[in-house]
Structure 1
Amino acid sequence: MTSDNFKIVSVSSSFIKIEVIDPSLFENQFNIGSYIKIPYKNIENKYVVGVIENYNIKDNNISKGDGIEETISNGPSFVLEVKLTGTMTKFNDSDLFERGGHGIPLPPNNGIELLNEKELNNIYSGKLVENDKFCFSKLVQNVEIDVPVSGNKFFNKHFAIVGSTGSGKSHTVAKILQEALIAKKGSYEGLNNSHIVIFDIHGEYKTAFPQANYIDIQNLVLPYWLLNSEELEELFIETEANDHNQRSAFQEAITSNKKLKSTLDPKLKAKLNYDSPSFFDLNEILIYFKNRNNEQKQKSNTIEWFDLKGEKFIFNEETNHNLFSGILKPVDGATTGTQNARFINFINRLEIKLNDKRLDFLLGDASKKITFIDTIKQFIGYPCKVQNEEGVINKEKSNITIIDLGGIPFEVLSITVSLISRMLFEFGYHSTKLASHEDDCEVPLLLVYEEAHKYVPKSDLVKFRASKNAIERIAKEGRKYGVTLSIVSQRPSEISDTIFSQCNNFVTMRLTNPEDQNYVKKLLPDTLGNLTDSLSTLQSGEALIIGEAIALPSLVKINRCEPEPKSSDIKYFEIWKDPWIDAEIQKVIGLWQK
């Protein structure tokens, strides 16, 4: 390769154009995405580094008129459009790469070369200490080159993985997490200290993590008494003419019942409120509302009842606990100005939900028996005992917890995701207070939201409010308390702007929807020029990685994961060609009815 074969024909602050005068003299292959270096004139061992984003073919025939053309060179030449990414300084066997650049100094130097493998390795790894290297991909243009990222910067900030169906998104998620689970400092035996929670809406990841703590509708126990006020009202109260009275009475009943059931010290018990994570009995709340629905007012404007012993008492804040004990008889009076007959709809809804077997994981007997500590332990992979209708389940410690949301009724999906997310955030928040140093965190958590557009959409509908508020709070505050997010979606344009704006690293795979492509391009924090135009043509398993964790934006091939998630397409036509199969419909319905 000779410098005379290259000519810099245009320079700007972020782009240069380079003409390859005679392609036949070019010794190495170049492609869109190849990296080149341009030496500084009169500055030894310093280079401008750029990536080829495009090239044009320049016709070197000159028309002399009357159909006569004169060739001024050996065939056409090529004009490369190069996006400047940074500078490289050579020190003996190492190359120091600095991201960012401001054009090249005048006059430009034509001593242009492709970066060799050693230089590429130094660019990606040069600033990373060995203990911080985290690798799950190789360079598309040269599969011999590993593309490590900073493990700390990748996981201690939120990151997004987006791509259309079939782009290899699930395999990418699995590979990243598998590499995190096997990473160790030293050669100790057993699990490392990683703690990952996957919200798996399609049941894809069980096969990829056979040793995971797997939770589905059959063994999930989620206590309703840990729901906060917003979640409780979303679950039990519907918007109607009398809903303000329902909300007020609901708050009074729950607060009073929490104090009644609490075993805390009297001073702490007095501080319990509507949002306190303390047990209350939902069946007693139902009894309370049935009593309030029958109340009557005396001439003295008091509401009076006969308790179960037949003794009369005046209903107030000190005596309202009596309404939990059973159906009471009111002292005769007027119904005007009372809640008499105003809670019929609420009582019906509450009874329907309490009798709905699909909601047993949230409202059933097991949810009353599980302790606060075991509730937390089951989600962060610590040994615990969880009891459901089939008996006691002993859970072993695990680095990764998969929450299969596939069987969760849609009407409580948002609340389920909200409660688990909020508990894990609060756990991180309070655990940092116990740390010896302000920046310490003994149990950093990564929460992976598969198909995140299902429960953190841009929509302001009430049914998404709980999960959206919980996850947006983690996006804005979680990093300070050792709780980070991974947002995984095939429709990034449908996800809350607040969520994506907090992501610092992106793994962007093939996107075929123009709206999604444009949305992602606007979110990416770097000016990538034409590199983002390749999003619609990436092959399965290829991705554009960008963000603080990687030395420079790169097109990569994700390494294959082993074992793989269950995300393969069903081979319809091959199955259809097989002989008729008698489906076991009875077994399907039996599973359906559980």
Structure 2
Amino acid sequence: MDSNNFKIINVSSTSISIEIVDPSQFDDQFNLGSYIKIPYKNNETKYVIGIIDNYKIKDTDKGDEETEPTPPSFILEVKLTGTLDVQDSGTVFERGGHGIPLPPNNGISLLTDEELGSIFTTRIKANERFTFSKLTTVKLGIPINGNKFFNKHFAIVGSTGSGKSHTVAKVLQEAVSAKKGTFEGLNNSHIVIFDIHGEYEQAFPKAQILNASNLSLPYWMLNGDELEQMLLDTGDRNNYNQSSVLRKIITENKKKHNPDIKKVHFDSPIKFDIREVYNCLYNIQTETINSKAPNRYMIVDECGDYNAGDSTKNDDGLELIPEERIKKYFSKQFEFYPSKGQNVSNGTYADGTLDKFVERLENKINNSRLQFLFGENSRDISFEETVKQFISYTNGKESNITIINLGGIPFEVLSITVSLISRILFDFGFFFSKIMKGQQKCETPLLLLYEEAHIYVPKSDLAKYRSSKLAIERIAKEGRKYGITLGIVSQRPSEISETIFSQCNNFIAMRLTNPEDQNYVKRLLPDTLGNLTEMLPTLQAGEALLIGESIVLPSLVKIDPCSPTPKSSDIEYYEIWKEKWKDVDFGKILNEWKK
């Protein structure tokens, strides 16, 4: 390459403009995103490194008919990224364009693959290098710092069809296959994928798969807000009365099943029986009383004369049900004498305050699609068994990856399901850290990856999203201290909670076609690539901007193919439509629908 063919015409603190004087003599291929080096004057080992941001065409033809036309020249706009010092002891790359010599030397050339490789491995130890992509310009594998990628939250964003699922699969496949040494069996990676569409079972055939049919989620670990969100109707005018009754009954049931615990509250994460709670609510709703003795309840199998003690009222005037009566009502659903005679009248809640509440609770605990939450297994499962199923320590069937298929989870409980699992794993990490001694580090760091995160942690204040947002935002802010990090995956980043997204330190930004998403991502990126960020809507499938603390230089990369692939291939509509008419087994579909 003839360096005299290049002329530096402008220098600033962040960029250099270079004119290619005679393009006809220029044989090498420059691309947007290509890296170039400019040697320091009188220093043969030090170079200014830049990336081609854009270029302009300069017309040098004067338009004189009597002279030969001259071809145009090109002006390259180069964004400065740092300096490269090549010594016998090794290559050292420093970020930033500080110390540019004036005037700079004109000995401009493309970086060789070896020089590029040395830049990207600067300050990354061999055992920390993690590779899943190549530069789009020279097909050179780009290592990143695996520790800084996984111990900080990261985000993978891209529109449908951009290769987002394949990127997730490739990153995780590389992580679970990495080993220090030649041991056999699993490495110590622990990854939980919240899979909304069931895409990743195919990509990880050895993963532990949890879904609505085999998941056991203990309802008794729901906190107060989640229980009320699950069981109460926020639009019901009697919501306050229902909340008061629910809190009282569940608290008493927790005391019944945990007699050794002195202080029991509505929020206490201890066992209670949802069926007994329903029995009590049903009895309170249907009970009748002796009109002449309001403290006597007319139960048929009690000879119509059960004394449960006087009810009292709180400061708001609401009836407080005596503990003894509640304890009796836990046992079963009683039959009461009808309130037709003058000696028998309706009970405390005769105004229908509890009618819809009791009906709603009955529908939920009897709903076959909610048995993973309200079934017997969920009532009896221990905290230890719950945690083991989520990090695949169950019955000797260890696995690096647990996939929680949320596809069969009813949408009305999706947020609460994600919230509860996230809180359990956070608490596991928190209390695990408490038993670590001195400077001992976490032995089982967890990665929680949320596919299509905008569905359950949106930028919304609606009550139905409150649980999952609070749980995941807490992990985003505090999780790293306890060995819990987040992977946020979404095709609509502008709809994700800013609290969560702003905590991400590494980004894999793929093609984004929505202007709001493009602007949102550009605003949050910790680094910028100048005009290269304008390429977000035109990136090819599998291409991405890789940016963040884990990579030496923000780069335009091509993600390596994954194997096996996730189940996210597009359906060939037109090809299938051209085939002969196919019959549909509607009965089989409906049977699956009714499960």
TM-score, normalization by structure 1: 0.91
User: Aligned residue for 1:226?
Assistant: 221
Distance (Å, rounded) in 1 between the aligned partners of 2:213 and 2:408: 9
Q: Distance in 2 between matches of 1:334 and 1:106?
A: 98
1:193 aligns with 2:152: no
Does the 8 A contact of 1:296 with 1:303 survive in 2?
Answer: no
- Structure 2 partner of 1:26: 26
- The amino acid that maps onto 1:230 is D
- Superposed CA deviations along residues 383-404 of structure 1, whole A, max 9, x for unmatched, are 24xxxxxxxxxx7111001111
Select which of 238, 248, 257 maps to 2:253.
Answer: 257
Contact preservation (8 Å) 1:292, 1:340:
no
**Partners of 2:270 and 2:425 in 1: how far apart?**
17
Distance 1:322 1:337, change over 3 A: closer
Contact 1:63 1:70 (8 Å CA) reproduced: no
Deviation per CA, 1:126-148: give whole Å up to 9, x if none: 211111110000110011x1101
Shift of 1:445: 0.6
Deviations 1:228-274 (A, max 9, x none): 111111110112222112112211211111121126xx3xx122322
Q: Retained in 2: the 8 A contact 1:37–1:49?
A: yes
Letter of the 1:179 counterpart: E
The reply on whether 1:277 has 2:278 as its aligned counterpart is no
Q: Could you say which residue in structure 1 is the equivalent of 2:211? A: 216
Taking the aligned partners of 2:41 and 2:297, their CA distance within structure 1 comes to 96
Does the residue aligned with 1:142 lie in a helix, a strand or coil?
Answer: coil
What is the identity, as a one-letter code, of the residue corresponding to 1:273? H
Contact preservation (8 Å) 1:11, 1:103: no
Letter in 2 for 1:108: P
Of the structure 1 ranges 324-333 and 124-133, higher mean CA displacement relative to structure 2 is found in: 324-333
Q: Is this contact kept in 1: 2:152–2:505, CA < 8 A?
A: yes
- Larger deviation, residues 110-119 vs 84-93: 84-93
* Runs of 5+ consecutive residues of structure 2 not aligned to the other structure: 312-320
Which amino acid in the other structure matches residue 358 of structure 1? R
Which residue does the alignment assign to 1:379?
390
Alignment of 1:431-470 (within 5 A): 431-438=432-439, 440-470=441-471
TM alignment of 1:309-324, pairs within 5 A: 312-314=307-309, 318-319=323-324, 320-324=326-330
Letter in 1 for 2:257: K
Cα distance in 2, alignment partners of residues 474 and 300 from structure 1: 58
Cα pair distance change 1:586/1:337, threshold 3 Å:
closer
Q: How does 1:262-341 map to 2 (within 5 A)?
A: 262=258, 266=260, 269-293=261-285, 312-314=307-309, 318-319=323-324, 320-327=326-333, 341=352
Paired letter, 2:262: A
Q: Write the letter of the residue equivalent to 1:461.
A: L
Q: Measure, in 1, the Cα distance between the counterparts of 2:350 and 2:83.
A: 75
CA 1:340–1:56 in structure 2 vs 1: closer, same or farther (change >3 Å)?
same
- Residue range with higher mean Cα deviation, 96-105 or 558-567: 96-105
What are the equivalent positions in structure 2 for 1:79-94 lying under 5 Å apart? Answer: 79-92=75-88, 94=90
Unaligned ranges ≥5, structure 1: 385-394
Distance 2:17 2:176 in 1: 44
What is the DSSP-based 3-state SS (H/G/I as helix, E as strand, rest coil) of the residue aligned with 2:272? coil
Which residue matches 1:478?
A: 479
Deviation at 1:334, TM superposition (A): 8.4
Q: Give the corresponding residue for 2:575.
A: 574
From 381, 384, 394, give the equivalent of 1:370.
381
Q: CA deviation at 1:327?
A: 4.5
Does the alignment pair 1:170 with 2:181? no
Contact 2:454–2:493 (8 Å) recurs in 1: yes
Q: Counterpart of 1:238? A: 233
Q: Do 2:454 and 2:492's aligned partners in 1 also have CA atoms closer than 8 Å? A: yes
Per-residue deviation, 1:366: 2.2
Quick one: distance in 2 between partners of 1:200 and 1:374?
21
| Corresponding pairs, count | 575
Which letter does structure 2 place at the counterpart of 1:287? N
Distance 2:101 2:250 in 1: 71
Q: Please give the alpha-carbon distance, in whole angstroms, between the structure 1 residues aligned to 2:228 and 2:107.
A: 70
Shift of 1:440: 1.3
TM-score normalized by the length of structure 2: 0.91
Question: How far apart, in 1, do the equivalents of 2:585 and 2:592 lie?
Answer: 11
Letter in 1 for 2:253: N
Q: Distance in 1 between matches of 2:347 and 2:369?
A: 39
In 2, the alpha carbon distance for the partners of 1:399 and 1:520 equals 31
Q: Render the CA deviation track for 1:526-557: whole Å, top value 9, x for unaligned.
A: 13210101111111111110000000100111
* 2:367 alignment partner in structure 1: 356
Task: Give the structure 2 partner of residue 419 of structure 1.
Answer: 420
Q: Secondary structure at the residue paired with 2:308? A: strand
Whether the 8 Å CA contact 2:189–2:446 is kept in 1: the answer is yes
C-alpha displacement of 1:305: 5.0
Whether 2:28 is the aligned partner of 1:17: answer no
Secondary structure at the aligned position of 2:214 is classed as coil
**Residues 432 and 80 (structure 1 numbering): CA distance in 2 closer, same or farther, change over 3 Å?**
same
Q: Percent identity?
A: 58
Aligned pairs for 1:533-544 (under 5 A) are: 533-544=534-545
